[in-house]
Amino acid sequence: MQMLQDKVALITGANSGIGKETAKLFAREGAKVVITGRRQDVLDAAVKEIGDGALGICSDVASIGDHQRLAAAVGERFGAIDIYMANAGVIELSPSADVTEEEYDRHFAINTRGVFFGVQTMAPLIRDGGNIIVTSSLAATKILPQHTVYAGSKAALAAFAKNWALEFKERRIRVNILSPGPVETEILGKLGVSEADRPAFERHMADLIPAGRMGHPSELARAALFLASETFVNGLELLVDGGMSLT
């Protein structure tokens, strides 16, 4: 039997990377999957990849109004959801001296505020016994160069999730944190790593990771599937980093 048979999963920021791979895996495991992103054309392409009746809804996690519209649309279509994965995020690397007010606000609007109000808005839709997965980052607990603002925006998520795990105990909703290390996704290009520089960058990262390589989105998807499945795990921060946290 499929692990998520007849479940409904809503994954934010799932038009690429970890979110998209997770959506594909959840669909293969029997879930009805709703994904969000800020560009409908990219969402439509992702929906075709995911298949199995996936639904893409254009939504910006930085907007409380968009959260409310998303909740209304999903509630009308499905009635309720079983899994909410707050995955959407942004990363821009800068030394603290160079961080602009706009860069700071963008990180906290998407990575922190977006997660908080996403959970607040979607919680009434989550069935009792359902679960929430919050995507954080190794950077929240390990000091990495030029990650200060990004790390700060992600560090709050562990506090949110652990408080929610207790707040939702009467409804038996589990809340866990997925914290990736370096992963091979499109985000490398957004960090300024060109295709020409990518092999050297990956070799450098491999030297820092006991596993000897960067992670793949499919490996993070399998970790998310574990958290979304029927387990006794609650309030856990799961580091999926190839052992980089040990170095």
pLDDT value for 189? 59
- Per domain, the residue ranges of the chain are 8-242
Per-residue pLDDT, 195: 76
| pLDDT score of 199 more than 90 | no
Whether the pLDDT of residue 196 is over 90: the answer is no
Assign domain 8-242 to its CATH architecture. 3-Layer(aba) Sandwich (3.40)
Question: With 60 as the cut, is the pLDDT of residue 142 above it?
Answer: yes
Query: Is the pLDDT assigned to residue 186 strictly greater than 90?
Result: no
Catalytic site residues? Answer: 150
Average confidence (pLDDT) over 92-98: 95
For the chain, how long is the longest CA-to-CA vector? 54
pLDDT of amino acid 204: 82
pLDDT digits (tens, 9 = 90+) for 22-65: 999 999 999 999 999 999 999 999 999 998 789 999 999 999 99
CA distance 219 to 183: 9
CA angle 93, 99, 103 (to 5 degrees): 80
Mean pLDDT of 172-194: 82
DSSP secondary structure letter of residue 110? I
